[in-house]
Amino acid sequence: MSNNTFYLPEGLPSPMATRDGIDEPYWQGLRDNQLMVQRCNDCQQWQWGPEWICHACRSFDIAWSEIESKGVIYSWERVWHPVHPALQEHCPYIVVLVELPHANNIRMVGNLLGDAQQDINIGSPVTGVFEHHPNAKTPFTLLQWQTV
Amino acid sequence: MNNRTLRGKVAVAGIGETTYYKRGGSQDPEFVLALKAILAACEDAGIDPRSIDGFSSFSNDRSDPSRLSAALGMHELKFANMQWGGGGGGGSAAVANAAAAIAGGLADCVVVFRALAQGQFARFGQGPKSSGVSGDPAYTIPYGVMSPAQMFAMRCTRHMHETGVTRDTYKAISLATYYHAQNNPRAVMHGRPLSPEKYDQARWIVEPYQLYDCCMENDGAAAMVLVSAERARDMQRTPAYLLGAAAGSEHRNAAPCHNAPLYATSSFTSLAPRLYEMAGVSAEDVDVLQSYENFTGGVVMSIIEHGFCSHEEANQFISYDNLVAPSGKLPLNTSGGNLAECYMHGLELIVEAVRQIRGESTNQVPGARVSMVTSGPMVTPVSNCIFGSEETL
């Protein structure tokens, strides 16, 4: 797979599930084109990032549930100064913080696909794009975003 | 339990700093920098270094208190405290923890210190070199969010969106700080003034921060000797009394992956009222403010959350004229701070707050009695403290 199918070049640290297993369903879900997040079986609150206990009701009975990968831009940044060797020739790039109103407004960090110098508007609707890295040493998938 | 306060019980009796260097500029190893700052603070206080009996620091300082104790030949070590949490959010907390130990009878003479040689160890401003990441970093680093500037830019963008604060307000903070550094020969940026044009024309680091919105990376060390207020009165320097301090952060500030319910804050919303309550003062009583600048946008939020102005007033109130000593309404970062004096993780700001009480700043606010510090906006835990002169007790 060539570099240009990825928003950022290869060579950045790869995401791996934690050794205690708390977020394995999330990373496995992404590889299967599914966005899985935590939901409490007792109080039905959505929760992100993953934790062993529900912050709303202190239940340990937390399930993983698939949700639609869509949301609105809550905040953003455009990075111009590279701080990693793999990014030396790849600035600027855009990072968005996406809010998911259909899941208690949990937020997720990703890149905004498309022109890195595009105008970005807080509140704009975005939809998720699964960016697969099957040839990585430990294969992984990122969740990117594009404006609707 | 009555009288649960630190107000007026402990004072800073000595301050010490090494030369401040650009990162990589120190010929001394980091541990030697720590020793030199501690000895300088002891000399300033007029005490035998062997009479230190405790250390307090923050941000996982590498100079271990037991090693310091052995190296200095201290008679006894009674207190060795590290405030948890990264970044500069622990600076004022390190002072508070030392003061609590003295007020509570755990120790008698505690040194607060921070030693940092970014030229010898990892730079804060660079990404990790590992091949894999897990846990919270796995949700951000693969997307190119790995340096402090990149971690906090989205908080500031959101704050600007919600409040209408502009980059001209960021600029005022940077210009005032650099102005103060020009009068301070210790400052790394002494002799390198910043003009509005130079600020505007600087390169972007990450929107909304340009180069001069960001702190430096440095080598050096700073230290402060804390003793009981009674003892400080009999020592050679004018005591700076601790009036109050607070540490922590608001509800679920550390919710992973940028999920803090109050996202567009500097983390001080719940601390500011606690600080003022203990200190027995209000924002109007503060004569001079040292506010930690990792990035200018965090200072804006800190100033607002500590009640110096509202969100709506911020663009007018946070002006160059209001921020410069001696004439401004709220003289800010009067040594040059993290932007222009030295990034000693904000401990240099606390040393400067003490200097203002002594009347010894290179940008002295005439008659300063109430001198305040805010440490580490946007991280968690953050902390803050207020020093007062004898007449404030």
Q: What does the pLDDT read at residue B270?
A: 98
Write out the two tokens for B236.
Answer: 């050679």
Distance CA B177, CA B160 (A): 21
Per the document, the length of chain B is 393
Q: What does the pLDDT read at residue B203?
A: 98
Distance CA B384, CA B302 (A): 10
Percent of chain A topping pLDDT 70: 97
Size of interface A-B (CB pairs under 8 A): 133
For A103, phi then psi, to 5°, come to -140, 60
User: What class has domain A68-148?
Assistant: mainly beta
Specify whether the CB–CB gap between A45 and A104 falls below 8 A. yes
Query: How far apart are the CA of B202 and the nearest CA of chain A, in angstroms?
Result: 12
Specify whether the CB–CB gap between B115 and B94 falls below 8 A. no
Query: Which parts of chain B have pLDDT scores under 70?
Result: 1-2
Distance CA A100, CA B133 (A): 25
Instruction: Please tell me if residue B252 touches chain A, with a CB cutoff of 8 Å.
Output: yes
Q: Do A15 and B138 touch (CB under 8 A)?
A: yes
Distance CA A61, CA B325 (A): 57
Query: How far apart are the CA of A81 and the nearest CA of chain B, in angstroms?
Result: 5
* In the predicted structure, residue A103 carries a pLDDT above the cut 50: yes
Write out the two tokens for B371.
Answer: 């001198």
* In the predicted structure, residue A147 carries a pLDDT above the cut 80: yes
Residue-range domains of chain B with CATH: 10-121+214-392 (3.40.47.10)
- Give the chain B residue nearest A79 (alpha carbons): B206
Q: What does the pLDDT read at residue B1?
A: 62
Interface confidence (ipTM) of the complex: 0.97
Instruction: Please tell me if residue B140 touches chain A, with a CB cutoff of 8 Å.
Output: yes
Which residues make Cβ contacts (< 8 Å) with residue B11, sequence separation at least 6?
Answer: B226, B227, B228, B229, B232, B233, B239, B240, B241, B242
Catalytic annotation, residues of B: 292, 343
Q: Do A48 and B125 touch (CB under 8 A)?
A: no
Specify whether the CB–CB gap between B68 and B110 falls below 8 A. no
Q: What does the pLDDT read at residue B278?
A: 98
Distance CA A94, CA A76 (A): 7
pLDDT tens digits along B27-65: 999 999 999 999 999 999 999 999 999 999 999 999 999
Query: How far apart are the CA of A33 and the nearest CA of chain B, in angstroms?
Result: 17
| pLDDT confidence bin for A1, thresholds 50/70/90 | very low
* In the predicted structure, residue A10 carries a pLDDT above the cut 60: yes
pLDDT tens digits along B354-377: 999 999 999 999 999 999 999 999
pLDDT tens digits along B68-104: 999 999 999 999 999 998 789 999 999 999 999 999 9
Select from B102, B39, B69, B63 the least CA-distant residue to B345.
B63
What is the pTM (predicted TM-score) of this model? Answer: 0.97
pLDDT tens digits along A33-54: 999 999 999 999 999 999 999 9
SS3 of residue B290 by DSSP: strand
Q: What does the pLDDT read at residue B124?
A: 83
pLDDT tens digits along A109-132: 999 999 999 999 999 999 999 999
Residues of A in contact with B145 (CB under 8 A): 77, 95, 109
Instruction: State the DSSP code for B147.
Output: S
| pLDDT confidence bin for A3, thresholds 50/70/90 | very low
- Give the chain B residue nearest A105 (alpha carbons): B259
Q: What does the pLDDT read at residue A2?
A: 43
Q: What does the pLDDT read at residue B174?
A: 98
Distance CA B122, CA B305 (A): 32
- Give the chain B residue nearest A96 (alpha carbons): B154
For B291, phi then psi, to 5°, come to -120, 115
CA atoms within 13 A on the CB side of B379: 26
For B175, phi then psi, to 5°, come to -65, -40
